[in-house]
């Protein structure tokens, strides 16, 4: 194990570094991590002094086509990193994530719980801490300088989200607390357009966040929920979907990618099919947003939702994209300050979107963190990110398949970096605990998507899930642990 910096460096050096405000917790970070962080700090400050020499600013042409649009060029602040400007060097990426440089039970942490939530890069932590230290205020409602700065930060984050998902206007971007709140918001605003006997189509792989709100609304308006089935590889049965669509279909709500089976749904085709029948389409991009290009105009959806915390941003912030044609049609879902133009005791005139959908003081600092996270990710070519995570997925799948007693669920042709499996002779909890003992964090359980597991007669799986900062060495550590358990049966 690497020794801590406190143990390894002379006391005078450690205290000089502490006095210098290096901002590092010496008890938590190993020496290698400390040195690497210092190297990055010095490289950053050198780059500031010598504009144009930063390796992060090197000109690099990204791939052409629709995929580019997700990370498309920021015209805003000069502090923003240029799109795709940074080569995908995983060891350098890892240095941005302080949490990855700690030991758990004596082992270097392996964070394979990315489908549940992602770790945060120092760029996000620093953006939020600088906002709270210097620029914090409530937004929109005052003439003073800090209110103007905070408003600029908040609205700047909205513009960053717009660019990232390639929306037409930043007015299409509504901030919410996360995917769950986003889907509840959509369900409540759209409720008034649903009638008895109308049909809402959901797929069998949906997360509970994309099932329960629709059930609640359906019960209220006497609409009917119908389920698009999957086959045993976890693939959507597109002909069944075609059969289910009809004149009663009002709404189709789909995961872009399944959090249990990893299946990437053909959402562009499915959206077109739904629109052909006049139905509105909601896309739950919670699992795709950090792992593949997401372009709302290419998808053609009416709504798209995601959570910040699954894309290296803090908890407490999420996004609902609302198609511009729906801004005026939809009613607000919550009333209060910030969302009005004029109020009297007789009537209220609402603001335009997006303010109309954002009652009360929003999660300003978390929006700043989301903006910083998207700026962070847009430095990298999304094709390289996808390819790296896919290589990890293939590696893990190939090795796990060869272990006696392991069964993998979900073999769709197009998958995100999620592997759901069971191991004979062990509960999933036992596997999770053994992995944790070795410093490897994975999720075990039903992953809040019980119907998708019940398709296979299961209540629970072990689910490692990968992100940009994971490595093949970490996959090997997972495999070693599962081989060990398999041999002990």
Provide the binding-site residues for ligand PLP, judged by CB under 6 A.
178-180, 207, 209-210, 255, 259, 284, 286-287, 307, 448
Q: Which is nearer to ligand PLP, 210 or 375 (CB)?
A: 210
First to last CA, the chain: 29
Nearest approach, Cβ of 96 to ligand PLP (angstroms)?
22
Least distance between ligand PLP and beta carbon 448 (Å): 6
Given the complex with ligand PLP, which of 282 and 423 has the nearer CB atom?
282
Nearest-angstrom CA–CA distance, 420 and 461: 6
**Residue 88 near residue 419 (C-beta atoms within 8 A):** no
In the complex, least distance from residue 63 CB atom to ligand PLP, rounded to whole angstroms: 26
Least Cβ distance, residue 118 to ligand PLP (angstroms): 11
Residue 22 tokens read as: 């290096």
CB of 271 to ligand PLP, least distance (A): 17
User: CB-wise, 289 or 481, nearer to ligand PLP?
Assistant: 289
Rank residues 36 and 453 by Cβ distance to ligand PLP and give the closer one. Answer: 453
Catalytic residue chosen out of the listed positions 416, 448, 462, 475: 448
Quick one: 118 or 307, whose CB is closer to ligand PLP? 307
Which is nearer to ligand PLP, 322 or 485 (by Cβ)?
322
User: Nearest approach, Cβ of 326 to ligand PLP (angstroms)?
Assistant: 21
448 is catalytic: yes
Q: Which residues are catalytic?
A: 448
């Amino acid at each position: 194990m690497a020794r801590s910096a406190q143990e390894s460096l002379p006391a005078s050096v450690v205290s000089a570094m502490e006095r210098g405000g290096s901002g590092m917790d010496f008890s938590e970070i190993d020496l290698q991590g400390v040195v690497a962080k210092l190297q990055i700090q010095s490289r950053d400050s050198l780059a500031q002094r010598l504009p144009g020499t930063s390796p992060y600013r090197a000109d690099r042409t990204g791939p052409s086509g629709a995929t580019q649009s997700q990370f498309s060029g920021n015209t805003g602040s000069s502090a923003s990193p240029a799109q795709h400007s940074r080569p995908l060097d995983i060891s350098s990426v890892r240095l941005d994530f302080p949490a990855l440089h700690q030991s758990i039970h004596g082992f270097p942490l392996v964070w394979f719980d990315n489908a549940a939530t992602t770790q945060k890069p120092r760029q996000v932590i620093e953006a939020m801490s600088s906002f709270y230290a210097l620029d914090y205020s409530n937004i929109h409602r005052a003439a003073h300088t800090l209110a103007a700065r905070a408003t600029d930060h908040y609205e700047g984050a909205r513009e960053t989200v717009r660019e990232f998902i390639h929306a037409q206007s930043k007015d299409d971007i509504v901030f919410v607390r996360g995917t769950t709140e986003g889907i509840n918001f959509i369900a409540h605003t759209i409720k008034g357009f649903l009638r008895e006997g109308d049909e809402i189509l959901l797929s069998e792989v949906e997360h509970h966040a994309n099932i329960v709100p629709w059930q609640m609304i359906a019960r209220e308006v006497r609409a009917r929920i119908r389920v698009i089935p999957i086959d045993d590889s976890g693939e959507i049965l597109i002909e069944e979907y075609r059969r289910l669509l009809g004149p009663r279909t009002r709404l189709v709500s789909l995961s872009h990618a399944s959090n249990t089976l990893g299946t990437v749904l053909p959402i562009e085709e499915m959206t077109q099919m739904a629109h052909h029948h006049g139905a509105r389409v909601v896309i739950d991009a919670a699992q795709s947003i950090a792992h593949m290009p997401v372009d709302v105009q290419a998808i053609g959806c009416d709504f798209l939702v995601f959570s910040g915390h699954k894309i290296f941003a803090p908890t407490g912030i999420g996004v609902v994209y609302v198609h511009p044609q729906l801004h005026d049609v939809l009613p607000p879902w919550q009333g209060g300050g910030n969302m009005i133009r004029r109020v009297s005791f007789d009537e209220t005139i609402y603001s335009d979107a997006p303010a109309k959908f954002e009652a009360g003081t929003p999660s300003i600092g978390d929006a700043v963190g989301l903006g910083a996270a998207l700026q962070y990710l847009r430095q990298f070519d999304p094709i390289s990110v996808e390819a790296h995570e896919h290589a990890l997925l293939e590696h893990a799948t190939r090795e796990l398949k060869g272990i006696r007693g392991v069964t993998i669920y979900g073999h769709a042709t197009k998958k995100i970096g999620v592997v759901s499996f069971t191991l004979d002779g062990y509960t999933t909890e036992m596997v999770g605990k053994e992995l944790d003992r070795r410093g490897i964090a994975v999720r075990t359980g039903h992953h809040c998507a019980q119907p998708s597991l019940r398709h296979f007669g299961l209540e629970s799986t072990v689910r490692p899930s990968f992100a940009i900062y994971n490595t093949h060495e970490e996959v090997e550590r997972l495999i070693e642990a599962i081989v060990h358990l398999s041999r002990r049966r």
